[in-house]
Structure 1
Amino acid sequence: MPDNGGLQAVEASQRPDSQVRVFAMPPREHAGPVSIVDGFLEALTSDDPQYTMARKYLTDRAARDWHPEESTTVLTDGPNTGPASRPSAGDEGRTFRLSGRQVALVDQEHAYRPEGRAYSTTLHLVEEDGPKGKQWRIDGLPQGVVLGQSDFQRIYQSVNKYYYALDEESSGGAGTSGESGAGSGSGSSDRQKRLVADPVYVRQWIDPLTQTVRALLAGPTRWLDPVVTTTFPSGTRLRKDVMTLAPDDDNNLKVPLNAKADHVGQAHCKEMATQLLFSLQDVTSANVSQIELQRSNGSQLCVLNESGAEALVAQRTSGPSDDQYFLDAKGRLVQMSGASRTTKEPERVPGPLGDGEQRMRSVAVSRDETQAAAVSNNGSALFVGSFVSGASLGDPVVRSHAKSEKDRLTTPSWDGLGGLWVADRDPGKPRLLMFGRGLADEVHEVDVSGLEGGRIEAVKVSADGARIALLVQAKGRTTLRIGRVERDLGPDGRLTVSVDGLSAAAPQMEEVTAMSWAGPSRLVVVGRESGGVQQLSYVQCDGSVPPGQALPGLTGVKEIAASEDDRLPLVAHSDDGIVRLPPGLPWQTVRKDGTAPVYPG
């Protein structure tokens, strides 16, 4: 520590640590076809906003017709360039083949879709006259951009857009991002609304704030659209003269909208601002604490800060407390404090599930932490018990009649609307069930599209109730699938519930053995890749794996639990018993003799 000398002021940056930046170079004079192809592919990996330098490798016509924003193809490695093929008769150009193993496609909506398949396309080059003589240029290429996975992870970042979950009363099977969605958002309700995350990818060095706002205004992705609505009137966009947005020194962001939003009321406007505030939380460079929406003439529509936005939406975390639950050695439900360094012994919950009236093997605590659903030790019966001392357990709400214990009921799960979900794995009558607040008086057998003969092995519903994570066993392997939960009121007033749009959420895993929601669009999974060992990692529900999502190893993980609040520790049942992983610390053993750890939900 210096004890003399002068002091010098330095600027303290508030921006995140910089990463590697790539700047494109223009083509060299009289460069050969191979150099042109290599230079063009390198230019695609740059942080050039409009791909201006990449267009210099194209003929004038090709530069005009090329739309890089149309899609981004992600390959395991950078595209391999094959040797130039012989030109056909009369063709004086050169053709190069680009190939690789495709892992995903990011479409025009910025949505990520896993696609494991071979990739192959061609680039065609011609010699064209220029001011300094003939130059090789690309005149035939596919639309969009092609990148290796490492370049994609460096250039893009995942952000969550937010939309409102459709209520049962407003579910009618129609899309919600068009006129019907605008109409359903024209009023205001005193009841808090549920926000649903819609993950997309934006270029993290090219004004991600403005990109995110434009993506939000464009509406939900096609996959999520059937179960959400937006309060922005149909056709609402940024005002035409607005090229970029930036918060002021007080972290206030002004968002000028076009005339489509000129006549919305205050309550409606604040719901719109809430969507924006939540959607900008993942843009680390934004740091927005207040939104001001403006009419097309620049006048103020409304102003909303973070606390005002929080008051308008339903609580997004697992439950009102930060406590965790598990079953002790006698199958009784116990509760422990969520504090990472507490030494307090877990305590049995009040009521029949803590009294041990019936030995249980799996459990789900309701999100308000007033009751829990539990499956009997042999897997045949699902009980629901309150956390009230002296209460009785009562009759099971459903029974499985499968002969084998492994073919009976899965661990149950509560959604954010108070519904209880469980799957019966009975080979003679496999089914997914959802119980409403009336439990046995309100049971729905849920149709699941896209199972293709697979069997549901585990169920976990997101806090917003709009999405469901399923472990599906098919063809000798168990994989993670994400589906939309669609609720529809028929003309007779009867509710039907279905799961549609099943998609792979951990395609890199050969086998997934446990999973849990760990945020608005993130899950923690336990599984192994082909030929690998068991590992724990975070994945996005769209199937992507953002960098830095690996977790410390743990032996023999059988069950995993996470909270939507990432400040709370992961909890697992492993060979070491009940363990948990507080942020920034190693795994810690809580009890040697416990099973079935859960957070509310």
Structure 2
Amino acid sequence: MSPRSRRTTAGVFAPLAVALAVLCGCTALPTSGPVVQSRGTDHGDSHRASDIDARPPLDGASRVEVVAGFLDAMTAWPVQTSVAKQYLTDEAAAGWNPRQETLIYSDSLPVRESSGTVSVQLTAADRLDAAGAWRGAVGSEELTLDFQVSVEDGEYRIVDPPDALVVPASWFRQRYHQVSLYYFDQMAQILVPEPVFVPEGDQLATSLVSGLLAGPPPLAQGVVRSFVPSGLSIGLSVPVDEAGVADISLAGEAQSVTAEQAELMLAQLAWTLRQDPSVTALRVTLDGSALPLPGGVSQYSVDAAAAYGPAGPGGSKSLYAVSQGRLLAGSRDTDLDPVTGVLGDEGAGVVAVAVSPDNEQAAAVDRGGRRVRLATVDESTSQPAAQVLLDGGDYARPSWDNAGRLWVLERRPGGAVVWLYDGEGVRTVQVPGITGTRARELAVSRDGTRLVAVVRTAEVDAVVGARLLVGGRGQVRRAGRPFVVRAPEGSKITDLAWAGPTRVAVLTATAPGRLYEVDVVAADGATVGVDVVSTIVNGEVLGLAASPVEDAPMYAVYADRFVDIVRQESHDIGPDGISQLDYAG
């Protein structure tokens, strides 16, 4: 007997639903329910930030006043650094490069002078690189900014400013937000979003195109590739007309662009510009000549490159569940029934499962978590039996990427092992920060360039991430250095899932069996100026069902039901119940 689903309305997720609705653009949601605690976005006030005029140095200012004035001048809005340069010696002003990085500090102690050096002690700070990509927390040894000050033309001036824009977090939250620049994976099969921060304002289209032309951020070098020719510029701006068409006039010494390259270039521009709500289409000229558009159209819709989207082609929202050891398939509007393949048979013994993004294959953990088998979802005469991939270990739920690569975490007493099946064989991949640790769960992004895992340290859990470097023929070469996606907060993490191309949903047990917290965090680990959703809900939540596919609902999964967190619709399960529910991937 298969579980049957019946839709009802739930009231346990209201504040989370409201917060997620802000992210999704939804409205008219309930606002009541037994929620213990919730908090919303870290993003600043949605109202336009006030202009700030930087003040030049006063005659006769002391060393301390000059340094304090220099820091204040960097908060000019709209951003400009000409006044800040007036606090520097002529030589220092000529060499100062505030675009090299951004330091965002939460607070600082008063500027002080000691032995001719003026110092500023930051209590905590985070760093962005030159492209605006998040680089994480500044080390404790770098939190003290020392300034040498000398006399020039009778006034104190700074000799050695840091090559950075140094600004308070409160200022940054109000004036910057995170967007994605879209590049391709190395096989040019799927677009990969690279999150960066850009200033608020009416020049978003210009900021997006300028960022894309600059090429991938440093940490994405070797991970992604761009089909936008290097050495191009856009001049003053990217104008958007009343019809929503962005005119992109590119200039430079680019080589001729083939039709194939033009298609991929347009896909990058379209997905990047679709984040500007005022843009519906684009036109591109290259050194004055119109870039040929597919089909001979006069403008290219921002929705035209859906096939290259970061969630992969198709956008399936099919659901898969495990019930009584069998694999079930269905949707939120249909029953969950056993699949026709061998994993749907009685006695299949499935403990955990992951279905490939094309909905054709399933990797199942069985024998109490001690074996991993690969089988077709539906009955197949060409592959009637399941293939054993791994045996004899303690395996977490597998995870698929869009290229059909299967990732499996094996938990070992001496440290975790990451296994990769690429269609030809199974091998281990050394993933710094995950391999050899007390990692418990693992999930790969749909584009195949990011890996996140739950890692236990000192009895608390953190989410650790790493970028994956893949060759042009799809072979995984290595993993990059690890970074913290979500720092330990004292509770055990019981599940994680990709809730968007650059967002990870994390389920933690605040009070196991009674209270659970759902956090949706930035996959790059950014904690300032990003939309962060968090709430605590009642009941024994088994896990999360989430997907990077646009508009795919996120579900909280219980043994007898699954609940759409935004719509608050509860889908009841029959007497057999379920032990897992998830989307493909």
TM-score (norm 1): 0.77
Q: Relative to 1, partners in 2 of residues 1:155 and 1:74: Cα closer, same or farther, differing over 3 Å?
A: same
Amino acid at match of 2:521: V
Q: How does 1:256-275 map to 2 (within 5 A)?
A: 256-275=249-268
In the alignment, which residue of structure 1 is the partner of 2:166?
146
Equivalence map 1:22-171=2 (5 Å): 22-27=51-56, 29-30=58-59, 32-33=61-62, 35-75=65-105, 77-87=106-116, 95-118=117-140, 119-125=143-149, 137-167=157-187
Offset from partner CA, 1:38-66 (integer Å, 9 cap, x none)? 44333323323322343344454443332
Distance 1:557 1:79, change over 3 A: farther
For 2:421, the equivalent position in structure 1 comes to: 435
* Residue type at the aligned position of 1:98: V
Deviation, 1:120, is: 0.4
Task: For 1:295, give the aligned amino acid.
Answer: L
Which residue is equivalent to 1:387? 377
- Between 1:424-433 and 1:102-111, the stretch displaced more is 424-433
Q: CA deviation at 1:567?
A: 2.0
Shift of 1:17: 5.0
Please tell me the residue identity of whatever aligns with 2:305.
Answer: E
Alpha-carbon distance between aligned partners in 1 of 2:54 and 2:384, rounded to the nearest angstrom: 72
Match of 2:466 in 1: 483
For 1:540 and 1:194, the matched residues in 2 are separated by: 20
Cα distance, 1:478 vs structure 2: 3.4
Match of residue 206 from structure 2: 210
Of 554, 567, 585, which aligns to 1:570? 554
Query: C-alpha displacement at 1:518, in angstroms?
Result: 1.6
C-alpha contact (below 8 Å) 1:400/1:424 kept by paired residues: no
Are the counterparts in 1 of residues 213 and 228 from structure 2 also a CA contact under 8 Å? yes
Given that 2:402 and 2:448 are in contact with CA atoms closer than 8 Å, whether structure 1 keeps it comes out as yes
Counterpart for residue 194 of structure 1:
190
Q: Does residue 351 in structure 1 map to residue 341 in structure 2? A: yes
Asked if the contact 1:255–1:291 (Cα under 8 Å) also holds between the matched residues in 2, the reply is yes
Q: Distance in 2 between matches of 1:293 and 1:459?
A: 41
- CA shift in 2, pair 1:508/1:143, >3 Å: farther
Alpha carbons of 1:497 and 1:41: their partners in 2 closer, same or farther (altered >3 Å)? closer
Q: Alpha-carbon deviations, 1:277-312, whole Å to 9, x = none?
A: 11223345xx3222322222x121234523674255
The equivalent residue for 2:308 is 313
Offset at 1:333? 2.8
Query: How far apart are 1:27 and its partner, in Å?
Result: 4.1
Alpha-carbon separation, structure 1, partners of 2:201 and 2:73: 15
Residues 567/347 of structure 1: CA separation in 2 closer, same or farther (3 Å cut): same
SS at match of 2:209: helix
The whole-number CA distance in structure 1 between the counterparts of 2:360 and 2:474 is: 28
Task: Please give the root-mean-square deviation of Cα atoms over the aligned residues, in Å.
Answer: 3.4
Structure 1 residues 476 and 372, CA, compared in 2 at 3 Å: closer, same or farther? same
The count of corresponding residues between Structure 1 and Structure 2 is: 523
Q: Structure 1: how far apart are the matches of 2:261 and 2:485?
A: 34
1:498–1:35 CA distance, 2 compared to 1 (3 A): closer
CA distance, structure 2, for counterparts of residue 54 and residue 100 of structure 1: 19
Match of 2:49 in 1: 20
Paired AA for residue 332 in structure 1: R
Give the counterpart letter for 1:465 in structure 2.
Answer: G
Q: Per-residue displacement from partner, 1:487-531 (whole Å, max 9, x unpaired)?
A: 458xxx9956533333222236456442111222221123489xx
Give me the whole-angstrom Cα distance separating, in 2, the residues matched to 1:236 and 1:28.
Answer: 38
The amino acid of 1:505's aligned partner reads V
CA distance in 2, matches of 1:563, 1:318: 13
Matched with 1:514 is: 495
> Would you say the 8 A contact 1:30–1:136 is kept in 2?
no
Q: Do the aligned partners of 1:164 and 1:196 also contact (CA within 8 Å) in 2?
A: yes
* Percent pairwise identity: 25
Residues 54 and 207 of structure 1: CA distance in aligned 2, closer, same or farther (over 3 Å):
farther
Range 65-74 or range 305-314, more displaced: 305-314
* Aligned-partner Cα distance in 1 for 2:340–2:170: 51
Match of 1:368 among 355, 358, 369: 358
Distance 1:266 1:204 in 2: 34
Tell me, in whole angstroms, the C-alpha distance in 2 between the residues paired with 1:38 and 1:430: 49
Matched, 1:553 2:536: yes
Alignment check: 8 A CA contact 1:335 1:346 kept = yes
Which SS does the other structure have where 1:565 is aligned?
coil
CA distance in 2, matches of 1:232, 1:416: 23
Deviation at 1:364, TM superposition (A): 0.9
1:463 maps onto 2:446 in alignment: yes
The residue aligned with 1:537 is 519
Larger RCO, structures 1/2 (Cα 8 Å, 6+ apart): 2
Residue number among 221, 238, 244 corresponding to 2:233 in the alignment? 238
Shift of 1:107: 1.3
**1:302 is paired with a residue of what secondary structure?**
coil
How far, CA to CA, are the matches of 1:309 and 1:378 in structure 2?
Answer: 46
2:419 is paired with a residue whose SS is strand
Q: Which runs of 5+ in 1 are unaligned?
A: 1-15, 88-94, 168-191, 403-407
What amino acid sits opposite 1:410 in the alignment? Answer: A
| Alignment gaps of 5+ in structure 2 | 1-44, 294-298
Residues 351 and 100 (structure 1 numbering): CA distance in 2 closer, same or farther, change over 3 Å?
A: same
Q: Is the 8 A contact 1:163 1:195 kept in 2?
A: yes
Partner of 2:328: 334
Residues 1:278 and 2:308 aligned together? no
